[in-house]
A and B are shown apart, each in its own frame.
Chain A
Amino acid sequence: MIGKTLLLGLLHRGGCVNDAIVASNLRKRFISYERIGFIRRRKIIVEALRGGVSFRVRWGGEVYGLLGPNGAGKTTTVKILATLLIPDDGYALIDGHDVVKEANVVRGIIGLVLYPDKGFYSRLSGYENLVYFGRLYGLSKSMAEARARELMNLVGLENAMNRPYEEYSLGMRARLAIARALIHDPPVLFLDEPTIGLDPISAREVRELVRRLRKEGKAILFTSHNLWEVEEVCDRVGIINNGKMIIEGPPRDIKDMLGLKYVIEVEVQLNGRVETIREETVNPAETLRRVISDAEARGLRISRIRINEPSLEEAFVRVIGDEGKQVR
């Protein structure tokens, strides 16, 4: 295992492999205790990542979405990659550096958002919090101050710079959490459910920010429960459930792989009456051609065509509902 990770690390640093994040067959289980009496406890084993989670995120502004229901293993995966947990098996590389053996190097090149509304000093201002974390990342006082001002502007908190953190709204806290992740300008970002609990406007602002960071070329791992949000923001998606990766790929490919059906609705006029022809299909172009030619052959006038693309939500429900059936 050591030889393998070392070799992979060298390949990465030599520029032979263009991956920002590599997770290979990660497995993790936790030992917990359940109280079964006044004093007695029973040991229980929680398999957080049992099937081995593997994926890659490329350099050059790729946003990879990790999807899964509660307890699927998303946060465990993020914590392993952020050096906060040691995997029981498998390995992970960030820019070619092993997250266990080179944890300190990895910490310098990642930015982390774990909870949008936690992890700050409540009596300090947002600006003071950023300066402090900047200095923990090795920035000098003046550099941390300049960077904190720049980021407060970037996330739209310039008017709340000197307000205590405890007075920030949830949306403001979420944006500050992203600013903290960016304080040392890391090339790799882990955003674990950064929009959870946010109102639609704040969530949209966060998504907008993620798009801007993608344009800057940052490699981003993004987890969310919000499926359309993942579809909107992410280039590729991995769906995990019960600690194993079920399916992976660009959202469109996932939908194709699962054979999800498009819904084609064609409104036609017949003797002044409007009727709707509705067909479900996995091949929308061919079906649409057929429906149109049938309608024309019957002398019907087409007034509107609507094609409903299957959503990632349907893919998610299909995959999670069909757990156990390996699609890849």
Chain B
Amino acid sequence: MRVNRLGKVNALLAVMMNELKIISREPGGLALLIILPYFIAGGMAFIASFFVRVTSGGVFIRQFIGFEVLMLSMIMMQTGGARFLWEERRGGGRLEFLLASPTSMYVILFGTSLVMIVVNIGAFTIASLPLFYAEYGLIGAVRLAVALLLLFIGLLPLYGIGLLIAGLVMRLNDADSVTNVLTPILTILSGATYPIYVLPWWIRELVYALPMYITFYSMYLESIGHESLTLIAYLIAATIIYLLLGMTSYARLEREFKNRGGI
């Protein structure tokens, strides 16, 4: 049978469409996905504003960005690799059929994550546009567009971390336990919801090594009109490093499972 010449792009689009269909068929799935980050991030930022001195809309925006980045990071890391592979194997027995197709698992995993990224960035846009406009006027909308681009770049290394977590989940044969342990650790290490100078220096180094804080901070700087090329370069480097790490880890995992027979 004649195959499509744009094989990988065709498969990527198919994966994305499929993922969107699956989310939209879950009871209230799409609505929940879009509304949840808005309510939780907004709600947490609002509650946090009672504990810190919110002297301006800018401070509230900073908190809002922080909680939003944290929320989206968790969604990305959990759904990007670990939970997807787990559900495909345990939930539906589909993993064998995905692996037996000529489409690379990277395309399938990336397509799935890309849907989450696009949906989440859409949700973030809806949530933050009124805030940015109210605080900074029309220029705020432009800054938001650049901040969204930074968010997109910042979510890509999280896909790589998601692949690393997937290795743990598949080896330990449990998704819930792994994510239950990792979520609070990564929440603390995100540095996106509190001032990181309160941390000991060695934890601070860990915070800098992960992409969440830099994503949050570069977005915040952009929102107040102080873009930092160093941070953008850092994000791009982190994207490359974490993606490579994640892909290498996944390749080893797949090979190991084909040898060991865990699929």
Contact = CB atoms under 8 A, between A and B. Distances in A.
Interface residues of A, number: 42
Given A48-B261, A114-B96, A118-B92, A137 B26 contact: no
Interface in B10-59: 10-11, 13-15, 17-18, 21-22, 25-26
Contact of A119 (B11, B93, B260): B93
A104 B102 contact: yes
Given A30-B260, A137-B3, A119 B14 contact: no
Among B99, B103, B261, the one with the most A-chain Cβ atoms within 10 Å of its Cβ is B261
B106 to A, nearest CB: 13
A124 B98 CA distance: 16
Nearest to B91: A122
Interface in A77-116: 79, 82-86, 104, 107-108, 110, 112, 114-115
B94 to A, nearest CB: 5
B3 A121 contact: no
Interface string B72-88: 00000000000000000
B259 interface: yes
A185 B1 contact: yes
A262 interface: no
Contacts of A115: 93
Contacts of A180: 97
A301 interface: no
B92 A140 contact: no
A110 B18 CA distance: 23
B230 interface: no
A48 B260 CA distance: 11
B7 interface: yes
A212 interface: no
A132 B258 contact: no
Given A83-B100, A112-B100, A119 B1 contact: no
A248 interface: no
Contacts of A124: 18, 21-22, 25
Contacts of A48: 261
Contacts of B100: 82-84, 107, 110, 112
B97 A114 contact: yes
Q: Is the interface of B mostly helix, strand, loop or mixed?
A: helix
Interface string A279-315: 0000000000000000000000000000000000000
Given A85-B261, A124-B22, A112 B10 contact: no
Interface of B: 1-4, 7, 10-11, 13-15, 17-18, 21-22, 25-26, 92-94, 96-103, 108, 255, 258-261, 263
B101 A107 contact: yes
Contacts of B108: 136
Contact of A140 (B10, B17, B96, B258): B10
A111 to B, nearest CB: 9
B259 to A, nearest CB: 5
Contact of B94 (A83, A110, A119, A138): A119
A136 B93 contact: no
A62 interface: no
B21 A137 contact: no
A77 to B, nearest CB: 13
A136 B11 contact: yes
30 contacts: A30-B260, A82-B96, A83-B100, A84-B100, A84-B258, A85-B261, A86-B255, A107-B102, A108-B3, A108-B102, A110-B100, A114-B93, A114-B96, A119-B92, A119-B94, A120-B94, A121-B92, A123-B22, A132-B18, A133-B101, A135-B10, A136-B11, A136-B98, A136-B102, A137-B101, A138-B3, A138-B4, A139-B1, A143-B1, A147-B1
